[in-house]
């Protein structure tokens, strides 16, 4: 039973390009969360999704960032027109039936570098 799979592990983009980060949750998990970790900072919540629905996007920047979790396939975090300040590690987590009882399982992250 594979854990949370994130790809790519490392992504380099030039300023103005688009970045697409993918996350496949643990099999059977229907709740997905995205977190961002800036250098020397703690992990900050970005967005919480269930299949085909965004439940809480209060941590998402208002512009350039979007997320989806389609009925089939992985969750995608999309960053348009990247800037240097978007350089960070982006972590995806999943849980079963909400994390209140089961906790979260995290992926290994995608490290985005904007040059």
Partner 1 sequence: KQEVTQIPAALSVPEGENLVLNCSFTDSAIYNLQWFRQDPGKGLTSLLLIQSSQREQTSGRLNASLDKSSGRSTLYIAASQPGDSATYLCAVHGGGGSEKLVFGKGTKLTVNP
In the region spanning residues 37 to 66, those forming contacts with partner 1, defined by CB under 8 A, are 41-45, 48, 55-56, 58-59
Q: Does 100 bind partner 1 (CB under 8 A)?
A: yes
Q: What is the DSSP letter of 17?
A: -
Two tokens, residue 7: 């790809």
Q: What is the DSSP letter of 86?
A: G
Please, which residue, 40 or 72, has the CB nearer to partner 1?
A: 40
Q: Does 105 bind partner 1 (CB under 8 A)?
A: yes
- Candidates 94, 107, 90; CA nearest to 38 is 90
Give every CB contact of residue 77 below 8 A, 6+ residues apart in sequence: 20, 21, 23, 34, 46, 47, 65, 66, 67, 90, 92
Q: Does 72 bind partner 1 (CB under 8 A)?
A: no
Out of 54, 96, 111, 113, the only residue in the binding site for partner 1 (CB under 8 A) is: 111
Please, which residue, 10 or 78, has the CB nearer to partner 1?
A: 10
Out of 23, 107, 112, 114, the only residue in the binding site for partner 1 (CB under 8 A) is: 107
């Amino acid at each position: 039973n594979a854990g949370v799979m994130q790809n790519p592990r490392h992504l380099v983009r030039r300023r103005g390009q688009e970045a697409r980060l993918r996350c496949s949750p643990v099999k059977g998990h229907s709740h997905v969360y995205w977190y961002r970790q800036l250098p020397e900072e703690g992990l900050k919540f970005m967005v919480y999704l269930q299949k085909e629905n965004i439940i809480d996007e209060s941590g998402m920047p208002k512009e350039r960032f979007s997320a989806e979790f389609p009925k089939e396939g992985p969750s995608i975090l999309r960053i348009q027109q990247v800037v240097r300040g978007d350089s960070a590690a982006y972590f995806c987590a999943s849980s079963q039936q909400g994390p209140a009882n089961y906790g979260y399982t995290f992926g290994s992250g995608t490290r985005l570098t904007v040059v």
